[in-house]
Every structure is written in structure tokens, then in C-alpha cells.
Amino acid sequence: MVWAYVLGIMPAMSGMFTSFVRFEAVFPLFLALGASLGKPGRGWALASALGISLALHVWLLWRFVNFDWAG
Amino acid sequence: MVGLASRGLRADYIWKLLYLGVLWVALGLWGDIEEARFRGVMMHWPRDGGPVFASHFATWDGAHYLYLSEEGYGPGLRSNAFYPLYPLLVRWTSALTGGSHLIAGMALANLFSLLGWVLFYEVARRRSGPEMALWATVFLVLFPGSLFYQFVYTEGLFFLLLMLVWMGMERKRYSWVCAAAFLLPITRAIGWSGRMCWGSCRR
């Protein structure tokens, strides 16, 4: 909780979201997602979350490698 | 446990090969860099001349890290804002890559993130079981911000050190924790929080 607060919530409340997407070190978020969406019977929610994540990943990657977005 | 870790390592390794391979082909087909965008950033690589194909892999902060590994710190440089551990490791490793700091930086970033992902899976599995650990790792790898793990950025090294702190605390291997917590703040500014968390846990 301390870690998630320091890396996730505090920068979001005190900044302009610059480079916020790079705070992937907020690893408790992924544990929470895995625990909540990885349960049986939540296939659609899991697939939707992963699909959105992958689509955003590809879009931002393409912009990043072409000097169009810095993170 | 060794078998699971080995399978995880192999899966992550294949993912990285596919990721960079597909990106390489896509850039080769469609990825010309606009000269104005290349010139518009504070630091670009290569520093002399126009953009080359490899410039795609050294964009933004990556060019700063490459500058630091090649030239070091100096007065009045914007690159001074970046922390020293990763560029120092790139400089040392470039001796093994024929003097190419870009290849050394890419290799290190991918190696560190690969190991970081495997450690993340391991500690998550010990805490919550293999299925939850698997999905947590998939979310981590696909997260939009995880693209930086593949480039000349400090994210991979930072995450690996963070996982060493976490694993060391869980297994009561305080020498790992101490070493990783010492290195975190010289990797990225936010590394101070790793030391703070360790301090609060010790109390």
C-alpha cells in the first residue's frame, strides 16, 4: 500500500500526469488486476482489459519510436 | 520452482524476440523518421548528421542515456538530469558489443526487464498462486507503459532492483535488499521511495 501510494497516487495528485504512464513500477496494480480479473467466469472482463492494454501499448509504441510521444 | 521460473524466462524471452522482431520489420516497411521531429527533440542519436534507422531505438531519454554513457556528465548539460547507474553499466558493457553503446543499452534494458518479470512472477506466485501470478505478469507486460522495458531506458533495471528488494524482504535475505535499495536511488529519482519502503518495513 505504501509503495502504491508513493508511486501511483502521489504523482497523480501532485503533477500534470507527465510521464505518468511510465509508472509501471506500481506493481501492486498488476497483482490486483491479476487477482480480480483472473478468476474463473471473468473471461470477458479479462480479455477486454488485456485487449485495451495491448491496443494502447501498440499505439503508444509506434508514436514513441517515431518521435511523436515521449511518455 | 526452477522449472516454472525457467518456463517463465523462456516465454518472456520469446515475447521480447517477437516484440522487437515485429517492430523491426514494421519500422523497416513504414517507419521513416521525419527530419523535423528528429531535430525538434532536445537530444537525438546520432548526435551528428540526420536520423538513421537505429534512431528509432534511441528516442527521447534514450539519447540522453547514450550521451551520458559515451561522453559522461559535464557542466550545463540537460542530460545531467538523468541518473548514473544505467549509463555507467552501458559504458562498461559496450566493450562487449564492439563499442556500440546503443546495442549495449538495448541488450541491458531487455536483460534486466526479462529478469525483473521472472522475479515478479516468482514472488507473486509464492504469495498468491500460479494462476494469479501468470495474469498479473501478463498485465504487467502488456501495460502501455511497459514499452519502455524494451528500449534504452532505466525502467528494466529499476524494476529488477525493485523485485530484488521485494524478494529479499519476503525471503529475509537482507543483503539482497540492502544492495538493491542502495542502487535504486542512483538508477531513477523515484528510487528513494524503495529505500523508504524498506525502512518502514524494517520498523
DSSP string, chain B: -HHHHHHHHHHHHHHHHHHHHHHHHHHHHH-PPPHHHHHHSSS-SSSSSS--GGGGGS-THHHHHHHHHHH---TT-GGGGS-SHHHHHHHHHGGGTTT-HHHHHHHHHHHHHHHHHHHHHHHHHHHH-HHHHHHHHHHHHHSGGGGGGGSSSSHHHHHHHHHHHHHHHHHT-HHHHHHHHHHGGGT-GGGHHHHHHHHHHH-
pLDDT tens figures, A37-61: 988 888 899 999 999 999 999 999 9
Predicted TM-score (pTM) of the model is: 0.89
Distance (Å) from the C-alpha of residue A42 to the closest C-alpha of chain B? 12
ipTM entry = 0.89
Name every chain A residue with its beta carbon within 8 A of the beta carbon of B147: 57, 60-61, 64
Do the chains contact at A35 and B40, CB–CB below 8 Å?
A: no
What's the confidence (pLDDT) of residue A42? Answer: 84
Interface membership of A30 toward B (CB under 8 Å): yes
Do the chains contact at A56 and B120, CB–CB below 8 Å?
A: no
Do the chains contact at A33 and B120, CB–CB below 8 Å?
A: no
Average pLDDT for runs of 10 along chain B of length 203: 72 93 93 83 86 92 96 94 96 97 97 95 91 93 93 94 91 91 88 63 58
Distance (Å) from the C-alpha of residue B174 to the closest C-alpha of chain A? 18
pLDDT tens figures, B135-162: 999 999 999 989 999 999 999 999 999 9
Do the chains contact at B190 and A7, CB–CB below 8 Å?
A: yes
